[in-house]
Amino acid sequence: MALKIDEECINCDVCEPECPNGAIYQGEEIYEINPDLCTECVGHHDLPQCIEVCPVDCIDKDAANAEDHETLFQKYVKLTA
């Protein structure tokens, strides 16, 4: 399952550089996550780094983009090929 940044985002800029896949970008009002690039850091780290550094806890699983661990790993393999 990809991650999603909610409206609590304060645009602090700490999550974007932590994403190993470049999935986080500045949206119109808040940062957003491209679900096609988000692997929840599977293949890179044990935990999603954006969640680890977020000071306001505004990043959660995106129910609209449900993926299991194997699917996330296959996405990682494809992105890093």
Q: What percent of the chain has pLDDT over 90?
A: 99
Structure confidence by residue, pLDDT tens digits, 26-80: 999 999 999 999 999 999 999 999 999 999 999 999 999 999 999 999 999 999 9
Provide the domain count of the chain.
1
pTM over 0.75: yes
Domain that holds residue 68: 3-80
Q: How far is CA 69 from the centre of its chain?
A: 14
Give the domain CATH number at 57.
3.30.70.20
Residue-level pLDDT at 1: 73
